Amino acid sequence: MQDASGLTDRLVALLGRSNVLLPGDDQEPYTVDWRGRYRGEALAVVRPGSTPEVAKVVRLSAEAGVAIVPQGGNTGLCGAAVPSGGRPSVIVRLDRMRRIREVSPLANTITVEAGCVLADIQSAAQAADRLFPLSLGAEGSCRIGGNIGTNAGGTAVLRYGPTRELVLGIEAVLPDGRVFNGLRALRKDNTGYDLKQLFIGAEGTLGIVTAAVLKLFARPRTSALALAMLESVDQAIALMGLLRGEVGDRIASLEIMSRGQIEAIAATCPDTAIPFPLDAPWYLIVELTDTLAGIDLRAPLEAALGLALERELITDAIVAASEAQAKAIWRVRHSVSEGNKRSGFVVSHDSAVPLDRQAAFVTGVERRILAAVPHARVVMHGHIGDGNIHVVALVDPARVTDPAEAERVVRLINEAVDDETRAQNGAISAEHGIGQSNLGRLARVTDPLELDLMRAIKGVLDPAGLMNPGKVLAQR
């Protein structure tokens, strides 16, 4: 990769040699995504230490006509954080900017730099007797700038909303190097267009988030957990309705797994005990929490499940008698990815549909996948309170040793899932985003008018098309 413009020299002069990785250096942790699916090339990987430095890097790169790729923890699933298309790029890592600038338990806010690791933000909130609810598998290494850029979801969306709803203010460097200073800790602000929304979930294509003011919440102090066995997703939805009436807004988690999903774990993860009989088609983890200590949540949970049994909404249920039992149940849920990886060639999906369309969706999607790829095994798990059921097709690796055949199988499964998602008025990505992986799928199912609007927004903020090109929208 050539640097005809002398850009790298200017970047080294700006940041110091130790904060610039050049092509001869070990760039691989940053140019390749963590699953090894996307391999980009970089003129330089830079580590600015402040917002003005980020701005200068962007300005220098823009002047040289070089693409800019913002990168947080590089834990994304869709290749949004590494360069694409073989064009010369500068990767901007935010990892030196990890200061927690302020925690205000009175205002219930925390102000953080984009490079803060999510788990560090959770800890800082807890130290102030508050909760920062965003929680997901990668929390030990993902960074809040990436969480904001991808509008991360995770396990607390049902109660607290996705990242978008947790952000009060944003500071971002625009594609021309100017700094948008929207770092305001305001619960209400009706002074014109809400510009910060542009940067949330845009996957770094409209600018680089450099800092944010986030919401904090009262900490949950009590919890109760049950596992319900069900005949169908319809029953799970009805149970959700009943629980809403009986326990109000104490519902913290509603995580569903198909029997096939648990069987895949049971067969491949010897360390994960399955502490319940495997004889129901569906399993639902119900967790209630309360922000008050000393509240009895078990009694209302047991009462609600008793009512559900009476109304034949569930076939059986276990209420965890101890913290250990609750953990053992969660462990099954947390073994899902590992179990699937060990069960075959994985084609996994991240659809969202309206809550009341989930039963029709799971039936329809399985039918479509099996019609297209009869030898696939379809297992499912997901956040049923969010309408977000992960559909996973497991394929015998022996059948996809030929790359062309593997590609064909993936395409057929993707089309089956996307067609059913569209038929249910859903979205093909609930949490993971578009990145490089899903450009073609997005273009296939999205109203051209929406793509037009996205391109119009992109065009006006980044007319040269240098900010994380080839992500979200295909390059033309």
Alpha carbon distance, N-terminus to C-terminus of the chain: 22
Counting residues that bind a copy of itself (by CB under 8 A) gives 92
Which residues 6+ apart lie within 8 Å of 407 measured at CB? none
Tell me if 244 contacts a copy of itself by CB under 8 A: yes
- Part of the chain binding a copy of itself (CB under 8 A), chosen from 41-49, 332-340, 348-356, 402-410: 348-356
Tell me if 303 contacts a copy of itself by CB under 8 A: no
Is there a contact between 251 and 300 (Cβ–Cβ < 8 Å)? no
247, 286, 301, 379: residue in contact with a copy of itself (rule CB under 8 A) = 247
Q: Which is nearer to a copy of itself, 11 or 297 (CB)?
A: 297
Using left for φ > 0, alpha for ψ between -120 and 50, and beta otherwise, residue 312 falls in left
386, 413, 462, 468: residue in contact with a copy of itself (rule CB under 8 A) = 386
219, exposed or middle or buried, with CB in 10 Å at 0-12, 13-18, 19+? middle
Amino acid at 337: S
Q: Which is nearer to a copy of itself, 344 or 426 (CB)?
A: 426
170, 237, 332, 416: residue in contact with a copy of itself (rule CB under 8 A) = 237
Tell me if 217 contacts a copy of itself by CB under 8 A: yes
55, 288, 352, 365: residue in contact with a copy of itself (rule CB under 8 A) = 352
Site string for a copy of itself, 315-344 (x = CB under 8 A): ------------------------------
- Part of the chain binding a copy of itself (CB under 8 A), chosen from 4-12, 65-73, 326-334, 425-433: 425-433
* List of E strands, 95-238: 100-104, 109-113, 130-131, 167-173, 179-182, 208-215, 217-218, 222-230
- Cα angle at 57 between 54 and 58, to 5 degrees? 85
Which 130-159 positions form the footprint of a copy of itself (CB under 8 A)?
150-151, 153, 157-158
Count CA within 13 A, CB hemisphere, residue 19: 21
Tell me if 461 contacts a copy of itself by CB under 8 A: yes
Which 95-114 positions form the footprint of a copy of itself (CB under 8 A)?
104-109
Q: Which is nearer to a copy of itself, 139 or 350 (CB)?
A: 350
Which 254-293 positions form the footprint of a copy of itself (CB under 8 A)?
290-292
Among 87, 86, 74, which Cα is nearest to 36's? 74
Tell me if 300 contacts a copy of itself by CB under 8 A: yes
Question: 97: which 2 tokens?
Answer: 């900017």
Q: Which is nearer to a copy of itself, 2 or 193 (CB)?
A: 193
Tell me if 72 contacts a copy of itself by CB under 8 A: no
DSSP string, 110-152: EEEETT-BHHHHHHHHHHTTEE-----TTTTT-BHHHHHHTT-
Q: How far is the CB of 194 from a copy of itself (least distance, A)?
A: 6
Which 432-451 positions form the footprint of a copy of itself (CB under 8 A)?
432-434, 438, 442, 446-447, 449-451
CA-CA-CA-CA dihedral for 316, 320, 321, 323, to nearest 10: 170
Tell me if 388 contacts a copy of itself by CB under 8 A: yes
Which residues 6+ apart lie within 8 Å of 33 measured at CB? 74, 76, 79, 81, 82
Tell me if 238 contacts a copy of itself by CB under 8 A: yes
- Part of the chain binding a copy of itself (CB under 8 A), chosen from 199-207, 257-265, 269-277, 402-410: 199-207
Which residues 6+ apart lie within 8 Å of 201 measured at CB? 149, 150, 151, 163, 164, 433
Is there a contact between 89 and 66 (Cβ–Cβ < 8 Å)? yes
Which 164-193 positions form the footprint of a copy of itself (CB under 8 A)?
164-165, 178-182, 184-193
Q: How far is the CB of 293 from a copy of itself (least distance, A)?
A: 9
How far apart are the C-alpha atoms of 203 and 182, rounded to whole Å?
Answer: 18
